[in-house]
Amino acid sequence: MATGRTSAEFTAALRARERLIGYWSLLDSPIAAERLARIGYDYLAFDAQHGLFGYQGMLGNLLATDTKGSTAVGMVRVEANDPTYIGKALDAGATAVIVPLIDSAQDAADAVAAVRYPPLGRRSYGPMRAQLRIGPDPAGTHEQTAVLAMIETADGLADVEEICATPGLDGIYVGPSDLRLAIGGATSTDPSVQEEFEQALARISKAAEAAGIAAGIHNADGASAARRLAEGFTFASVAADIVHLQQVATSHLDAARGAH
């Protein structure tokens, strides 16, 4: 089993473009998060944008991630590029935030500003839980927390090199479903735009590498995550608990029915 990292160690590894693997959570189940955090993943990402929980759920799952035996830090995809949402996730103890729908370098700069305290940014001071595990002082907080910009829109793809060059941005994160739609896919898995999709991923990965920041991507399964890491992405999420619950339950049902 992998050994757990502190927030400072995780953020340093992320910024150094070390390989990191995480798990994506949509369900409000701290008990499940506690178990997932002990498997060996480097991070658990809690989806506050599309996930099935509110602030209390986010807080409870972050608490569960930090229990004894955990190998993971908690990460949150926030609802929007908004200082309130970003600040609440960080105050609750998230080591990193993934900010959705980044269309431009200005959007990325706004996200960075929401993560950093003055004079580097505009985060409001009130680390209610974060002060207990990351530290109350701004300098230590900046060292230990990361901000990731999602590349998932046509505008974001067109401006990806400028986004990646944004001062203070720690990495980018590909939302493949929205990105596939953005390049003309009829559905989030439309195979007819696969070539264009792969070209877009190559461009995004190259832009992050050139800027010296982390490059992450969302994946349906571990095999896909391994492929993207081999292609140059530096961190990858395996998604997601609600999907895998259905898949495993279905496989057991099929096996049980086949036994009669």
Instruction: List pLDDT tens digits, range 207-237.
Output: 999 999 999 999 999 999 999 999 999 999 9
For position 135, what pLDDT does the model report? 78
8 A C-beta contact, residue 47 and residue 39: no
Burial class (CB in 10 A: 0-12, 13-18, 19+), 31: exposed
Find where tokens 């506050």 sit: 48
Q: What CA–CA distance (Å, rounded) separates 37 from 47?
A: 15
pLDDT digit string, tens, across residues 36-92: 999 999 999 999 999 999 999 999 999 999 999 999 999 999 999 999 999 999 999
Instruction: Give pLDDT tens digits for 18-40.
Output: 999 999 999 999 999 999 999 99
Of 123, 120, 118, 115, nearest to 144 (Cα)? 115
pLDDT of residue 133: 84
Closest CA to 45 of 140, 146, 124: 146
Q: Residue 75, SS3?
A: strand
- Return d(Cα 70, Cα 37) in angstroms, integer: 5
For residue 235, give the 3-state DSSP assignment: strand
Mean pLDDT along residues 189-193: 97
- Count CA atoms closer than 13 A to 13's CA, side-chain side: 19
| Active-site residue identified among 50, 218, 252, 260 | 50
The pLDDT score that the predictor gives to residue 235 is 98
pLDDT digits (tens, 9 = 90+) for 93-111: 999 999 999 999 999 999 9
State how far the Cα of 93 lies from the Cα of 109, in Å rounded to an integer: 22
Give the model's pLDDT for residue 259: 64
Task: Specify the pTM.
Answer: 0.96
Separation CA 90–CA 82 (nearest Å): 12
Report the residue count for the chain.
260
**What are the pLDDT digits (tens) for 132-163?**
888 789 999 999 999 999 999 999 999 999 99
- Residue 50 bears catalytic tag: yes
pLDDT at 3 over 60: no
